[in-house]
Amino acid sequence: MYTTDLTGKKQAETVAEDPKKLAAFEARVANDEFIEPKDWMPEAYRKTLIRQISQHAHSEIVGMLPEGNWITRAPNLRRKAILIAKVQDEGGHGLYLYSAAETLGISRDEMTEALHAGKAKYSTIFNYPTLTWADIGAIGWLVDGAAIMNQVPLQRTSYGPYARAMVRICKEESFHQRQGYEIMMAMMAGTPDQQRMAQDAMNRWWWPALMMFGPPDDRSPNTEQSLRWRIKRETNDELRQKFVDITTPQAEAIGLKVPDPALKWNAKRGSYDFGEVDWEEFYAVVRGEGPVAKERMQARVNAWEDGAWVRDAARAHAEKRASAKVAAE
Ligand code: FAQ
């Protein structure tokens, strides 16, 4: 079992597990039983889950920033109310996921510290700026669309708390995807300027959306083991292909052009062939070199520091209540 650090270096896990316990665990997973927090699990399984779930949680929280930018500039009250609700949903997703990760023996503070220290990742997609209102449509349609494609199989992931969190998250992401597509539909039915804005957003978000599924399978160090432990149920490339197949006709239906000259229906495969993602760009963004990566992280660190007084007050209140209870007993 290997993990990659931020520099792309592989690090071997060294924990030797009891072979009997490991065999019983693997049999349960193969039998599609959920593994629950108090069950025995191999250390590498626990670590992989902490990595994936915490990175997923960080993505939801950092993902509030690009859309949050547009709450004050939404074009009307209806759009503003919808966008506030959506951004709030993403905050909720982050919280369920942090709670699911905490059941594996890590605290929320430790996860936050790892994010702020650059040790934990979050999805590359949130390092791109939202330049126009059409970007809010493109995020809902393409980014939430890619997120759902990846997350629907995670409802059957082998770790119970993660799978259960995914059920509600998928329902909400599905609403988000539709609201994004509806923004794009309205713009494509609008003026030539609105149509140009929608196409420009499509051009900028398409390739980063394909990167959300992770590196190609032959460069994905975690996929093989994660599939074996049924943490992941489908590979990065399988999910990317499904996304292209579902999204391309949606684009065509409203007159948007997918910005990929190599995109072509392959009748033999029953799927679209498509061009190569710029993997150099992907790895650069993973390393923290995305267009607005510094601003995103600064915004999170500022929010954490500005909120210190709330955490202190909540802690003091809890301590006061606990000591009052002891005194009364
Ligand atoms: N960005 O071996 P693999 C959302 C890293 S939620 C950054 O293939 P794995 C909702 C990967 O961590 C979006 N890093 O790794 C929303 C690993 O590094 P590590 C988030 C990436 O885990 C919508 C290394 O590359 N969704 O959008 C990325 O088997 C709108 C090698 O990769 C999830 O997190 C990337 N795109 O597969 C919110 C879903 N891809 O950790 C607001 C759960 C790969 O070893 C607005 N996660 N890396 O140092 C997963 O399904 C998996 O973790 C993958 C990666 C598929 C992301």
pLDDT in tens, 125-150: 999 999 999 999 999 999 999 999 99
Average pLDDT over residues 264-292: 97
- Is the shortest distance between the CB of 157 and ligand 1 below 6 Å? no
Residue 145 CA to ligand 1 center (angstroms) comes to 15
Q: How confident is the model at residue 14, as a pLDDT?
A: 57
- Is the shortest distance between the CB of 286 and ligand 1 below 6 Å? yes
CA distance 243 to 150: 9
Judged against a pLDDT cut of 90, whether residue 153 lies above it is answered with yes
Judged against a pLDDT cut of 90, whether residue 32 lies above it is answered with yes
Residue from 4, 37, 25 nearest 162 by CA: 37
Judged against a pLDDT cut of 60, whether residue 4 lies above it is answered with no
Residue 214 CA to ligand 1 center (angstroms) comes to 6
CA dihedral defined by 86, 91, 97, 99, rounded to 10 degrees? -140
pLDDT in tens, 199-211: 999 999 999 999 9
Give nearest CA residue, ligand 1 atom 19.
Answer: 4
Q: How confident is the model at residue 7, as a pLDDT?
A: 38
- Is the shortest distance between the CB of 201 and ligand 1 below 6 Å? no
Q: Which atom of ligand 1 is nearest to the CA of 140?
A: 30
Residue 212 CA to ligand 1 center (angstroms) comes to 7
Q: How confident is the model at residue 76, as a pLDDT?
A: 97
Cβ-contact 57, 122 below 8 angstroms:
no
Predicted TM-score (pTM) of this structure: 0.94
pLDDT above 70 coverage of the chain, percent: 96
Higher pLDDT, 9 or 222: 222
- Is the shortest distance between the CB of 139 and ligand 1 below 6 Å? yes
DSSP-derived letter for residue 19 is H
- Is the shortest distance between the CB of 135 and ligand 1 below 6 Å? no
CA distance 142 to 134: 12
For 250, the enclosing helix (H) or strand (E) is helix 236-253
Q: Give exposure, 267-300, as e/b (b: 16+ Cβ within 10 Å).
A: eeeeebebeebeeeebeebbeeebebbeebbebb
